């Protein structure tokens, strides 16, 4: 996710004077004039890509987006405007509805428009594309521009590694009535000049008529084509390698998108186990991860679908609201790949809210899954409020590695506490190994009044008891590990501004009582805000403790009304029962771009037999609500 706020280019006529520092020296900056006719024939320019467009990735084809590969962001994602999204999925085309007062397409759903709404609608590649020495890059898109009126519509392609300035192909620059192509090359803006022999935008593109656009970077040459006509070309300057998520930016225009294709010799994408809009689920969040006895990994989550109002649709970004199911996928290769289909375990053919999955795997082979059914409604301020009295907590079990599941059993009275209800929270259960409490099951619980307890079972999950309260108040996100001396360590986040660290509590009674608070300050740092968000701790194979915690937060500058979310999770290891931790580094170690912070939310983790830790978390390339992303360490 980008953190810089310098998002929108300022158009100038002509070439701006700009002095580069370091490798960007003025004498090396050369936008060319016209070329001899034979040089402007596309076949003479380098094109090391598949002319049939099969070697790369189709993000959008015939108007149908592949939501595992493309992120569609709109002004109305967090702003309820009728029941209409900013991007409408119509047969054969993805059409933007601007939601502001300029250039209205119709009178429908443009009421109370926001004059800044145009800044918040973009189509992002989930693939990170390379920009740098020896790298190739190809982008093809078929779009329709609604107008040519200096709207600054464009295709952002990169960010300078030192300054954060953008590289943009501008599709509609210049002045109103005199539109031109433009290139913003990391802060230097050039309007493509027809006096230098380049075609005008009106010669190759007409409002309301589909056009094929191509961006090519190969052999240090950057060139642009519209409907197979070369419209600009220049030589790239040397610079550091980085990876960027290119996107389509309508800005003050209104756009229809038919196709979007990318190809490169070195692009990458995060490992999405589940993604938004998969099998009709608008959002898939709240992962719970288990390792079955046969080695398979089972991933459970909330599938949020079919919002009945704009307020419900917006609320689903942040919490389970309305029609929500408990879904599952399986991996038989340690989390590298996942089954194609989501298996619905609870909520199928129901409009109720099934949510908050937690799981525990037993050494006997049994797998126990807990989940909630809960009602709620919007209050007078359009805030969604759960009816805690309505909450039911169910338990289902599998003894065949998750292939089949038992009928649900209501265990609400065993786990609920008067006056509150169990809420979301990372941290699945564990089975103890100590001599005194061998085979006891532990399930950490977070309550809506921001208190914590632990549920424990000594009969394989047939019955459950509640511990004493852990700590005081303002605590969330409990996760439990067993220490080599038989004690339990519960690591939690808290909602206070200070101290800026996660907290640890200890039990010498197998989880029945808790005390001994420790602030994890110096060796397992969570930054300024990471303690306010979910983390996860698991036992390793050699008595070690592995802890994952976010270390920062940010608010998406490209999204209206969103709330801060955690970023940049770091994994730590302890070999002395949690007394000290050593950083193993960021979860996401691949090169990205200037100011990038990896968005990450609720998470869970398991450790494979070879010691690899597999982390499943809410996240994505540009937003924490894109789905469930897998990391391995």
Question: How far are the Cα atoms of 344, 356, 431 from residue 330, in angstroms, in the given order?
Answer: 12, 19, 22
Q: Looking at residue 8, what is its pLDDT?
A: 35
Report pLDDT digits (tens) over 195-217.
888 998 999 999 999 999 999 99
Residues in CB range of 333: below 8 A, 6 or more apart = none
Residues in CB range of 323: below 8 A, 6 or more apart = 304, 305, 306, 307, 308, 347, 350, 351, 352, 353
Distance CA 299, CA 277 (A): 17
Q: Looking at residue 231, what is its pLDDT?
A: 95
- Walk me through the domains of the chain, giving residue ranges and CATH numbers: 26-269 (2.60.120.200), 271-632 (2.120.10.10)
Question: How far are the Cα atoms of 73, 99, 337 from residue 109, in angstroms, in the given order?
Answer: 18, 7, 41
Q: Is there a contact between 2 and 557 (Cβ–Cβ < 8 Å)? A: yes
Q: Which residue has the higher pLDDT, 36 or 196?
A: 196
* Residue that has been written with the tokens 């809506």 in this structure: 448
What 8-state DSSP symbol labels residue 509? S
Greatest Cα pair distance, the chain, in angstroms, is: 86
Beta strands in 362-448 (DSSP E): 367-378, 384-398, 409-410, 430-431, 441-446
569-579 in b/e form (b: 16+ CB < 10 A) is bbbbbbeebbe
Q: Looking at residue 490, what is its pLDDT?
A: 98
Residues in CB range of 52: below 8 A, 6 or more apart = none
Report pLDDT digits (tens) over 445-502.
999 999 999 999 999 999 999 999 999 999 999 999 999 999 999 999 999 999 999 9
Distance CA 86, CA 117 (A): 9
Residues in CB range of 280: below 8 A, 6 or more apart = 305, 306
Report pLDDT digits (tens) over 556-607.
888 888 899 999 999 999 999 999 999 999 999 999 999 999 999 999 999 9
∠ CA 552-283-387, nearest 5°, is 90
Q: Is there a contact between 116 and 222 (Cβ–Cβ < 8 Å)? A: no
Give me Rg for the CA atoms of the chain: 27
Report which secondary-structure segment, H or E, holds 365: none
Report which secondary-structure segment, H or E, holds 413: helix 412-415
Average pLDDT over residues 510-538: 92
Q: Looking at residue 112, what is its pLDDT?
A: 61
What 8-state DSSP symbol labels residue 310? H
Q: Looking at residue 118, what is its pLDDT?
A: 83
Judged by average pLDDT, the poorest of 103-117, 563-577, 617-631 is 103-117
Question: How far are the Cα atoms of 36, 383, 508 from residue 180, in angstroms, in the given order?
Answer: 22, 46, 72
Residue 551 CB coordination number (10 Å) = 20
Sequential DSSP letters for 515-556: EEEEEE-SSS--TTTGGGS--EEEE-TTS-EEEEE--EEE--
What 8-state DSSP symbol labels residue 562? P
Report pLDDT digits (tens) over 395-441.
999 999 999 999 999 999 999 999 999 998 667 999 999 999 999 99
Judged by DSSP in three states, 203 sits in helix
Average pLDDT over residues 209-230: 96
What 8-state DSSP symbol labels residue 422? B
Q: Looking at residue 437, what is its pLDDT?
A: 98
Sequence-ordered alpha helix ranges (H) in 211-363: 310-315
Distance CA 183, CA 202 (A): 17
Beta strands in 54-153 (DSSP E): 57-61, 64-65, 70-73, 87-90, 93-96, 122-125, 127-131, 137-145
Query: Residue 313: pLDDT above 50?
Result: yes
Distance CA 227, CA 248 (A): 17
Q: Looking at residue 549, what is its pLDDT?
A: 97
Question: What mean pLDDT is reported for the chain?
Answer: 90
Structure tokens at 211: 């056009």
Q: Looking at residue 110, what is its pLDDT?
A: 55
Report pLDDT digits (tens) over 425-434.
667 999 999 9
Sequential DSSP letters for 436-477: TTTT-EEEEEEBTTS-EEEEEESSTTSS-EE-PPBSSSSEEE
Distance CA 210, CA 232 (A): 20
Residue 450 CB coordination number (10 Å) = 15
Report pLDDT digits (tens) over 38-84.
444 445 799 999 999 999 999 999 999 999 999 999 988 998 877 77
Residue 182 CB coordination number (10 Å) = 26
Structure tokens at 394: 């169910």
Average pLDDT over residues 110-118: 70
Report which secondary-structure segment, H or E, holds 583: strand 582-586
Distance CA 223, CA 530 (A): 43
Q: Looking at residue 485, what is its pLDDT?
A: 97
Distance CA 481, CA 491 (A): 8
Distance CA 149, CA 178 (A): 7
Residue 327 CB coordination number (10 Å) = 25
Q: Looking at residue 42, what is its pLDDT?
A: 47
Distance CA 150, CA 253 (A): 9
566 DSSP β-pair partners? 553
Structure tokens at 226: 């519209």
Judged by DSSP in three states, 5 sits in coil
Q: Which residue has the higher pLDDT, 8 or 536?
A: 536
Q: Looking at residue 113, what is its pLDDT?
A: 66
Sequential DSSP letters for 13-52: SSB------TT--GGG--------GGGGSGGGS---S-TT
Q: Report CA torsion sign: 281, 286, 291, 293.
A: negative
Q: Which residue has the higher pLDDT, 516 or 297?
A: 297
Q: Looking at residue 41, what is its pLDDT?
A: 43
Q: Is there a contact between 475 and 492 (Cβ–Cβ < 8 Å)? A: yes
Q: Is there a contact between 78 and 559 (Cβ–Cβ < 8 Å)? A: yes
Q: Looking at residue 385, what is its pLDDT?
A: 97
Judged by average pLDDT, the poorest of 77-86, 358-367, 512-521, 594-603 is 77-86
Question: How far are the Cα atoms of 50, 207, 308 from residue 211, in angstroms, in the given order?
Answer: 20, 9, 36
Split at pLDDT 50, 70, 90, the class of 6 is very low
| Omega cis (within 30) before 499 | yes
What are the φ/ψ torsions at residue 425 (nearest 5 degrees)?
175, 130
**pTM for the full predicted model:** 0.92
Q: Looking at residue 97, what is its pLDDT?
A: 83
325 DSSP β-pair partners? 303
* Residue that has been written with the tokens 């015939």 in this structure: 62
Residues in CB range of 499: below 8 A, 6 or more apart = 519, 521, 531
């Amino acid at each position: 996710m980008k953190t810089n706020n310098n998002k929108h280019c300022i158009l100038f006529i002509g070439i701006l004077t700009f002095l580069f520092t370091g490798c960007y020296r003025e004498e090396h900056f050369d936008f060319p004039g016209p070329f001899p006719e034979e040089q402007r024939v596309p076949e003479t320019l380098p094109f090391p890509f598949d002319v049939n467009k099969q070697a790369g990735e189709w993000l959008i084809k015939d108007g149908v987006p592949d939501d595992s590969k493309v992120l569609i962001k709109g002004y109305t994602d967090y702003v309820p405007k009728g029941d209409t999204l900013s991007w409408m999925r119509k047969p054969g085309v993805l059409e933007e509805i601007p939601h502001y007062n300029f250039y209205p397409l119709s009178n429908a759903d443009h009421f109370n428009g926001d004059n800044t709404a145009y800044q918040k609608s973009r189509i992002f590649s989930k693939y990170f594309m390379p920009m740098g020495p020896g790298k190739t890059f190809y982008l093809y898109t078929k779009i329709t521009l609604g107008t040519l009126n200096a709207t600054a519509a464009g295709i952002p392609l990169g960010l300078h590694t030192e300054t954060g300035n953008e590289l943009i192909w501008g599709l509609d620059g210049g002045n109103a009535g005199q539109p031109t192509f433009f290139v913003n090359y990391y802060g230097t803006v050039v309007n493509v000049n027809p006096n230098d022999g380049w075609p005008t935008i009106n010669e190759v593109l007409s409002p309301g008529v589909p056009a094929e656009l191509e961006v090519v970077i190969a052999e240090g040459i950057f060139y642009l084509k519209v409907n197979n006509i070369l419209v600009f070309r220049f030589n790239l300057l040397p610079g550091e390698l980085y990876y960027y998520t290119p996107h389509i930016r309508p800005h003050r225009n209104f756009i229809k998108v038919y196709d979007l294709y990318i190809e490169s010799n070195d692009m990458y994408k995060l490992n999405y186990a589940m993604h938004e809009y998969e099998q009709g689920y608008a959002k898939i969040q709240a992962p719970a991860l288990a390792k079955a006895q046969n080695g398979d990994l089972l991933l459970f989550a909330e599938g949020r679908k079919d919002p009945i109002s704009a307020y419900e649709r917006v609320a689903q970004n942040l919490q389970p609201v309305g029609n929500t199911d408990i879904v599952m996928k399986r991996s038989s290769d340690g989390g590298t790949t996942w089954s194609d289909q989501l298996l619905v375990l609870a909520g199928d053919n129901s409009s109720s809210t099934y949510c908050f999955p937690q799981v525990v795997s037993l050494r006997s082979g049994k797998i126990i899954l807990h989940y909630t059914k809960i009602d709620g409604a919007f209050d007078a301020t359009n805030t969604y409020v759960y009816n805690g009295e309505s909450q039911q907590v169910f338990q289902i079990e599998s003894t065949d590695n998750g292939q089949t599941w038992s009928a649900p059993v209501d265990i609400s009275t065993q786990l609920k506490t008067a006056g509150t209800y169990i809420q979301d929270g990372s941290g699945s259960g564990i089975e103890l190994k100590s001599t005194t409490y061998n085979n006891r099951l532990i399930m950490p619980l977070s309550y809506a009044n921001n208190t914590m307890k632990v549920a424990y079972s000594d009969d394989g999950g047939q019955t459950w008891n509640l511990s004493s309260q852990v700590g005081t108040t303002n605590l969330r996100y409990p996760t439990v590990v067993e220490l080599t001396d038989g004690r339990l360590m519960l690591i939690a986040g808290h909602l206070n501004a200070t101290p800026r660290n996660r907290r640890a509590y200890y039990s010498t009674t197998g989880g029945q009582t808790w005390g001994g608070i420790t602030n994890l300050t110096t060796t397992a740092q969570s930054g300024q805000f990471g303690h306010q968000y979910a983390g996860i701790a698991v036992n390793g194979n050699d008595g070690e403790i592995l802890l994952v915690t976010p270390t920062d937060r940010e608010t998406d500058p490209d999204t209206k009304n969103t709330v801060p979310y955690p970023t940049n999770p770091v994994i730590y290891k302890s070999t002395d029962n949690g007394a000290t931790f050593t950083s193993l580094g960021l979860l996401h170690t691949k090169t990205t771009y200037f100011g990038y912070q990896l968005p990450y939310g609720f998470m869970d983790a398991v450790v494979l037999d070879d010691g690899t830790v597999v982390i499943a978390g809410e996240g994505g390339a540009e937003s924490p609500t894109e789905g469930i992303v897998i990391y391995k360490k």
